[in-house]
Structure 1
Amino acid sequence: MTELRLEELSASTIVEVNTLTLKPGQEQFIAPVSYSVAAAVSDPSTTWQRVVLDGDHVVAFIQGSFDESAPAEEFRSILWRINVDADRQGAGLGSFAVEALAQEARKRGLDHVNVIYEPGDDGPELFFQHMGFAPVGETPYGEVIARLSLA
């Protein structure tokens, strides 16, 4: 692995992001990347989208949002999605991406980042716990709301 770096999602990286693979069973926990891109187009001022590159290759994608005017508190500073290529999971790429999102939140004067996820055996729960997210609530749909404190 060469030195990892972040870049903003762009026309030159979106094709590679769309080819990131998932491990069997993970597809039920993540919507297509095109949904995230559409969300950014609808409100690019609050959406933070980055790709993780290893050398010249896109190996992960992360999307967050920072919107002080969001109607619900859990949406004001949130990790919306993280995708790490199946063959590269467990190598620290997700941690690298989440730490970059947390750093961006701190830079904006925020003291936490939330995430909402569906619990399940092949889902992201263990990863989020490993990163320090702690459950703080539940959505009306049974999804977990978890918070990463940055203080």
Structure 2
Amino acid sequence: MTDSSPRLVPVTPDNFDAVCAVRVHPAQEHLVSPVVKSLAEAYVHGETAWPRAIVDGDEVVGFVMAFMDFVWDPAKDPEHRRSGLWRLNIAAGRQGKGYGRFAVEAVTEEIRRRGGTRVYVTWKPVEDSPEPFYLGLGFRRTGELSGDEPVGVRDLTPGPDAAPVPA
């Protein structure tokens, strides 16, 4: 990372092209969808998608999208409420500099702030998968599959400034 602090910012008309230009290393392209697909999914899942550019200084270095399921009916299925990481794309030339870890922690803090008690993630079960990365950040396998992808979870403790989530 540079001398500036990385931060998550909304995707706007001003940074849209730079966000869409984020490309992971070619050997990772089979592991994660391109940013433009994620933004299309964010559009059609607007109630739960939380897309953000990862910016350091003035440079877009990556993209992260969370899903935040805070609009749910606990009477129907109180255990179904889930929030977590949907996508994480770090630009090929910016990998290995802590941006992925930063993004996961920033999403985790946002979910905690909104009252979440767990963060979920899935990954492709292939060679060079990001599983070791997620396990190293405190996620553990749940034993579930989402499609053919293992599900990981990280338990959270409530933060001191947890706020009620707007309906």
Q: Normalization by structure 2: what TM-score?
A: 0.81
Unaligned runs of 5+ in 1: none
Q: How does 1:15-34 map to 2 (within 5 A)?
A: 15-34=17-36
Whether contact under 8 Å (1:66, 1:78) holds in the other structure is yes
Bigger fraction of residues in helix: 1
Q: How many residues align?
A: 151
User: Residue 63 of structure 1 aligns with which residue?
Assistant: 65
Q: Does 2:77 match 1:77?
A: no
**2-side partners of 1:142 and 1:47: how far apart?**
22
Deviations 1:46-94 (A, max 9, x none): 2211111111110011000111428985772121000111111111101
Bigger Rg over Cα: 2
User: Residue 54 of structure 1 aligns with which residue?
Assistant: 56
Q: Does 2:102 match 1:96?
A: yes
Q: What is the percent sequence identity of the aligned residues?
A: 37
Equivalent residue for 1:149, pick from 136, 151, 155: 155
Task: Give the ranges of 4+ consecutive aligned residues of structure 1 lying more than 4 Å apart after TM superposition.
Answer: 70-75
Question: Match of 2:123, as an amino acid?
Answer: Y
Unaligned runs of 5+ in 2: 158-167
Whether contact under 8 Å (2:54, 2:103) holds in the other structure is yes
Question: Match of 2:115, as an amino acid?
Answer: G
Q: Secondary structure in 1 aligned to 2:13?
A: coil
Whether contact under 8 Å (1:65, 1:75) holds in the other structure is no
Q: Normalization by structure 1: what TM-score?
A: 0.89
CA RMSD of aligned residues (A): 2.1
Residues 23 and 43 of structure 1, relative CA distance in 2, 3 Å threshold: closer
